[in-house]
Chain A
């Protein structure tokens, strides 16, 4: 081939071949996309994040001491009026005395008049009345409702055993409202006369300047004058039965509840995974023995175990029982996770692609990391998210029966327990912690639901 050089040139193809491709998605990216498509799960995810923020960041924003008792605002619902008038310091009242007259034997009359002395305030309401001839003593009643027409005098607030005393100072749990005070004479044997005289007292909420300084409402006593109004401490979610701020207690209570709710499941799910995958992978007799032991653990009574652990940990009544609670939950709750993981592993072990991998020379490690774990991950995460609410419930229950946190540390469960007693009169004390438990449990459950759908590898394959 001597003639000249032939130069070949490749024909340039101008048109590109149409490619149908997308960036390859990792398992997690795909799961995230599918989770995002699930609105319920997404909202739950935000709720969970919000709860964590509430617990961890809340106390830095709302710096009220959860143990501080505001005894002037006990069991106050959210949004209650909290203006108070500044008054002078409280000084005990010496009362009014009159000469007692002898018993004439007839039915005792009602006092001619009952009058309120001084301004009735939430510090004290002072009553005096005219002596009843022949009285051996008096009984004072207080009602929030008019005693007429049926003579329902209300609470017997005081009994005066000495007929010389014709006055009474009421300081019992006074609220800023109108009270009806009725005075009844008693005879020498303490029997009550059917006749009574009623006086009304419109009580105003007051605070002394010294108290206002002590509670941090004002800086100096000189800042206010008598008759000024000050705002009492603000409690956005109201206060509990000892005047403690509900919001602060919910934030601090969440620490306990969420700590137990997240740490305990985390540990017992890990134990469950290790145990379950070992059993599933080994199979045969070893599997039988391991799973029978798991059954045995399931059969252990939780409460009994918890009490034994308290003794073992030397927890005195008055100490927090959170440590033993955590240990008891971890020790007793793993079999559920272990069973699920084992079932999954057993199933996957027999799948065709595992056999194919093996034929291609895959090692055990590769099998576990590439095939087993991703395929069980859905189960594991879902078990975890479902275990969280159940752990929160358990903590709530144990604190409810008094085996959890020690006072004054709050937890949602113990707050529910306390709120339950006043459910009918001040429902906010129960509703707030109960709502938090419910929302948390629901959020974790729905998130778990969404995760299950998002992480299921086989569902991915069907699309």
Chain B
């Protein structure tokens, strides 16, 4: 926006030339302007036609290259410090940890060839042929170095907590013990021995997470603090290497010839030529044949149907919910106020009428449907009774809450949300719902991601529209979210029974006991209305018809092109 004082100013002192002329010239301008607009429209249409003719560049079979868009520039690619989806996606293609997920989401060996996980110990035997992109072999020392780095308080890694299962890890991260006291040892170059604080039944799933990736100490030191800041400041051990990284513009991955399983990789190069999160821009790129994959939003669905695209769906594993602030000074600490809001919540209405995108599921439980339980799916084994919305019950709870809080009329609450259009749309839906059903006024506080996170951490909200995506493939990744000690429990929900249940689920090695405990967590969260679950997120997307073997998954690298090929 430029200065508004520069608005079209009347040329008055010289304007005496005559009325007729001015009006005529205005008419002419309008007329010419009209012609100009039409001409521009025709030109744009021609351009669009011409572009559609040129479709197909996104997948180049001759060179084995695919072109894609990326949701933004990775801040840096140091696996010990990464937190964002974009970084993890690039790391998933260029790096490999001890274990990885295959195309059917089973855990298979990565750098580790064999592994034994006992109660409180785990031993990983590394492959002889696993090498860094400079030809050096990957040794157990690389893991010890990188894990110490993650836990070193100086490094301030946000994902350090995911290593807390290692013996002494938490104390090291809190600065109470030296990093050398981490009980992870390189017995020899190819044997890594790990001691755990307590039995961790899902430890194999944890080590597939990018924060557990190895780093070559010699290389790290040689970069003098610039490690992973640029393509040449990084050593790769995964299926691809970064051939070029033009900051703010593009990233190009090329096949890593030194990767131990290079025969598996059939693409020669992945070109992330566009950094954007705008769904319409990505769809237009796809229409023009400039990207091989595009997510759809509700507004594009009709267009996609008309074009007869083959639409695919997947669940990205995340659950979205309204999280209450349980800090003592907040109204939302009142049980009945939360119950009132929970009672009027109508997840199917939100999903089917407002979000309108297939793949999203109505939900009442924090645990999404795809999580595995004892034998089958957790939610099929431990269903949560999902009551229909009950406005009458909601109003009764509200009346009790107002009495307890000494309010004469329904309160005004601040709802903290992200700044995306969908977040705003949902917030406006909730604003109206709470107003209509309960008379509660909602002030919508839309913030960019960082600012929202800061406000969540500071507790500067009554209700926050939050979401949680899984880090590893075990219900635990959701279950401990509202434990009193969890930093990500932004509303400071504090319930000893829930803490107990989480403890049982964490340490027991019997699947049935664990899942029973998880079910208790599920029930407590619902009964106490610690959160009100909005929906499970899913997505629909289209991909280039010749590009096969893309893997979409809830846990792990997504989308995963390592097994993709061009037909």
Taking a contact as CB atoms under 8 Å apart, the answer to whether B309 and A302 are in contact is no
B-chain residues with CB within 8 Å of residue A425 when the two chains form the complex? 299, 302-303
Docked CA distance A336–B4 (Å): 9
Partner of B7, one of A319, A336, A406: A336
Taking a contact as CB atoms under 8 Å apart, the answer to whether A336 and B5 are in contact is yes
Partner of A329, one of B4, B23, B302, B447: B4
A38 within 8 A of B: yes
Partner of B446, one of A154, A382, A402: A402
Docked CA distance A319–B414 (Å): 10
Question: Can you report 26 residue pairs joining A to B where beta carbons are below 8 Å apart?
Answer: A38-B23, A69-B429, A72-B353, A74-B353, A74-B354, A143-B305, A154-B305, A155-B311, A155-B358, A172-B351, A242-B354, A300-B3, A303-B1, A316-B445, A318-B443, A318-B445, A329-B4, A332-B5, A333-B5, A334-B5, A336-B6, A386-B8, A406-B443, A406-B444, A425-B303, A453-B22
Docked CA distance A360–B313 (Å): 89
Partner of B305, one of A155, A301, A391, A452: A155
- Minimum distance in angstroms from B111 CB to a CB of chain A: 26
B-chain residues with CB within 8 Å of residue A150 when the two chains form the complex? 308
- Minimum distance in angstroms from A437 CB to a CB of chain B: 15
Residue in chain B with minimal CB distance to A39: B23
- Minimum distance in angstroms from A100 CB to a CB of chain B: 12
Taking a contact as CB atoms under 8 Å apart, the answer to whether B104 and A189 are in contact is yes
Total contacts A-B at CB 8 Å:
178
Segment among B84-92, B181-189, B268-276, B418-426 that sits at the interface with chain A: B418-426
Q: A418-462 interface mask toward B, CB cutoff 8 Å, 1 = contact, 0 = none?
A: 000110110000000000000000000110110011001011001
- Minimum distance in angstroms from A409 CB to a CB of chain B: 11
- Given A302-B2, A317-B447, A336-B5: A452 and B303 interface contact (C-beta under 8 Å): no
- Given A172-B352, A387-B7, A394-B1: A408 and B12 interface contact (C-beta under 8 Å): no
A-chain residues with CB within 8 Å of residue B369 when the two chains form the complex? 161
B380 within 8 A of A: yes
Taking a contact as CB atoms under 8 Å apart, the answer to whether B16 and A459 are in contact is yes
B26 within 8 A of A: yes
- Given A156-B540, A171-B352: A344 and B301 interface contact (C-beta under 8 Å): no
- Minimum distance in angstroms from A413 CB to a CB of chain B: 12
Docked CA distance A382–B12 (Å): 9
Taking a contact as CB atoms under 8 Å apart, the answer to whether B427 and A407 are in contact is yes
From 524 to 545 in chain B, residues with beta carbon under 8 angstroms from any chain A beta carbon are 540
From 162 to 191 in chain A, residues with beta carbon under 8 angstroms from any chain B beta carbon are 162, 171-173, 189-190
- Minimum distance in angstroms from A207 CB to a CB of chain B: 14
Q: B1-44 interface mask toward A, CB cutoff 8 Å, 1 = contact, 0 = none?
A: 11111111110110110010011001000000000000000000
Partner of B10, one of A298, A408, A452: A452
Taking a contact as CB atoms under 8 Å apart, the answer to whether A242 and B432 are in contact is yes
Docked CA distance A378–B14 (Å): 13
A159 within 8 A of B: yes
From 223 to 259 in chain A, residues with beta carbon under 8 angstroms from any chain B beta carbon are 241-242
Residue in chain B with minimal CB distance to A458: B16
B264 within 8 A of A: no
- Given A242-B425, A340-B12: A156 and B312 interface contact (C-beta under 8 Å): yes
B-chain residues with CB within 8 Å of residue A92 when the two chains form the complex? 388
Taking a contact as CB atoms under 8 Å apart, the answer to whether A456 and B16 are in contact is yes
Taking a contact as CB atoms under 8 Å apart, the answer to whether A318 and B444 are in contact is yes
Docked CA distance A155–B414 (Å): 36
Partner of A407, one of B104, B305, B428: B428
Taking a contact as CB atoms under 8 Å apart, the answer to whether B9 and A386 are in contact is yes
A152 within 8 A of B: yes
Q: Report how many residues on chain A are interfacial, defined by Cβ distance under 8 Å.
A: 82
6 smallest beta-carbon distances between A and B, as pairs: A390-B7, A318-B443, A152-B308, A156-B313, A173-B356, A336-B5
- Given A241-B425, A242-B425, A318-B444: A390 and B8 interface contact (C-beta under 8 Å): yes
B349 within 8 A of A: yes
Docked CA distance A83–B427 (Å): 30
B-chain residues with CB within 8 Å of residue A162 when the two chains form the complex? 376-377, 380
From 309 to 358 in chain A, residues with beta carbon under 8 angstroms from any chain B beta carbon are 316-319, 329, 332-336, 340, 343-344, 347
- Given A156-B358, A156-B540, A242-B425: A333 and B432 interface contact (C-beta under 8 Å): no
Q: Report how many residues on chain B are interfacial, defined by Cβ distance under 8 Å.
A: 67
A367 within 8 A of B: no
Residue in chain A with minimal CB distance to B447: A317
Residue in chain B with minimal CB distance to A74: B353
- Given A152-B308, A241-B425: A456 and B5 interface contact (C-beta under 8 Å): no
A67 within 8 A of B: yes
A263 within 8 A of B: no
Partner of A391, one of B4, B15, B19, B414: B4
Q: B289-317 interface mask toward A, CB cutoff 8 Å, 1 = contact, 0 = none?
A: 00000000011011101101111110000
Docked CA distance A149–B1 (Å): 51
B435 within 8 A of A: yes
Taking a contact as CB atoms under 8 Å apart, the answer to whether A422 and B1 are in contact is no
A102 within 8 A of B: no
B457 within 8 A of A: no
Residue in chain B with minimal CB distance to A174: B352
Residue in chain A with minimal CB distance to B414: A318
Residue in chain A with minimal CB distance to B9: A336
- Minimum distance in angstroms from B304 CB to a CB of chain A: 8
Interface centre among B19, B419, B444, B445 (most CB of A within 10 A): B19
B431 within 8 A of A: yes
B348 within 8 A of A: yes
Taking a contact as CB atoms under 8 Å apart, the answer to whether A332 and B10 are in contact is no
Partner of B12, one of A38, A69, A318, A344: A344
A-chain residues with CB within 8 Å of residue B388 when the two chains form the complex? 92
